Amino acid sequence: MSENIPQAKTIDEVLSILNVIIDESIEDKSTLGYFAVLYYKVTEKVKEGIVEGMFQNGPRMEQLDVIFANRYIKAYYEYKMSLLPSSCWEVAFKYANDYWIVVLQHLLLGMNAHINLDLSIAAAQVAPGDEIHDLHADFNMINHILSGLVGNVETAMSDVWPFLKWVLKKTRNVDTFLIDFSMQEARNGAWKFAVELAPLNSTQLEQQIQLRDKKITKIADLITNPGYIPSLIFKILRLFERGSVVAKIDKLRSVI
């Protein structure tokens, strides 16, 4: 069955497959579409950056983006086909049907798996051995692009949660802080792990990936079970979320 899983060869093919995933999520009324929309926007920004010469090595960056995206695409279709994706992705997908998980948590679950695990693997694959150090500047540029989308996510969620703007005033943009902090921590850890992976042979690589997957899965558990007070806040936010799953996907699609 794995031979039926689509894999992109170019960044345009990545965008095309992501659009299919988003459309499938809309048809199925699935919350899996939330992260797919965010990731589509990230990929779109990376493509713009390559065209505009923002990266030191544009062709290498497209290769990295394709490898990076294909890991998410593979995990998504493995889940849909009842195969076993990475453990951290399995957890992220499993919560797609949990009523109490809010939009923010769905996004964080996807970012946790994709940045903490997939980005490191993609970076080490496109720049093995000592080449990894030459990738650092472009890796940081991806971080800059990711951070730039945080404000747009806040705008989308402010519309999903009618009283969120009031909450933001009281908590000093806690949602932006949470997303940005989580992403920053993830990216820092992703680079460190990429440097560790780069010199390894295939056997060592697989061993380290499996160990890392277990660690990242534990972080996913913290996102879904963050403690009594955060969980209570999330439940209140969930009760006041406005719109259907499809409406939320459309809102994310229009403002991110």
pLDDT, tens digit (0-9, with 9 covering 90-100), for 194-245: 999 999 999 999 999 999 999 999 988 888 877 777 777 778 778 777 789 9
With beta carbons less than 8 A apart as the criterion, state whether 66 and 14 touch. Answer: yes
The dihedral built from the CA positions of residue 177, 180, 186 and 189, taken in this order, carries a sign that is negative
With beta carbons less than 8 A apart as the criterion, state whether 107 and 153 touch. Answer: yes
pLDDT at residue 255, as a whole number: 74
Q: Which residue has the tokens 């992705």?
A: 89
Residue 42 belongs to what domain range?
A: 2-255
Question: Which positions ≥6 away from 228 have C-beta within 8 Å?
Answer: none
How far, in Å, CA of 123 to CA of 197, rounded? 9
User: Number of C-alpha atoms within 13 angstroms, CB side, residue 184?
Assistant: 9
CA 91 vs. chain centroid, Å, equals 13
If we measure between CA atoms, which residue out of 77, 86, 67, 69 comes closest to residue 5? 77
With beta carbons less than 8 A apart as the criterion, state whether 249 and 41 touch. Answer: no
How far, in Å, CA of 172 to CA of 178, rounded? 11
Tens-place pLDDT, residues 11-59: 999 999 999 999 999 999 999 999 999 999 999 999 999 999 999 999 9
Instruction: Quote the number of domains for the chain.
Output: 1
Three-class SS state of 68: helix
pLDDT at residue 181, as a whole number: 47
End-to-end C-alpha distance for the chain, whole angstroms: 34
**pLDDT for 112 beyond 80:** yes
**pLDDT tier at 4 (50, 70, 90 boundaries)?**
confident
**pLDDT tier at 179 (50, 70, 90 boundaries)?**
low
Of 79-88, 90-99, 210-219, 229-238, give the lowest mean pLDDT range: 229-238
How far, in Å, CA of 30 to CA of 154, rounded? 21
The DSSP code for 243 is: S
Higher pLDDT, 100 or 27: 27
% of residues, the chain, pLDDT over 90: 58
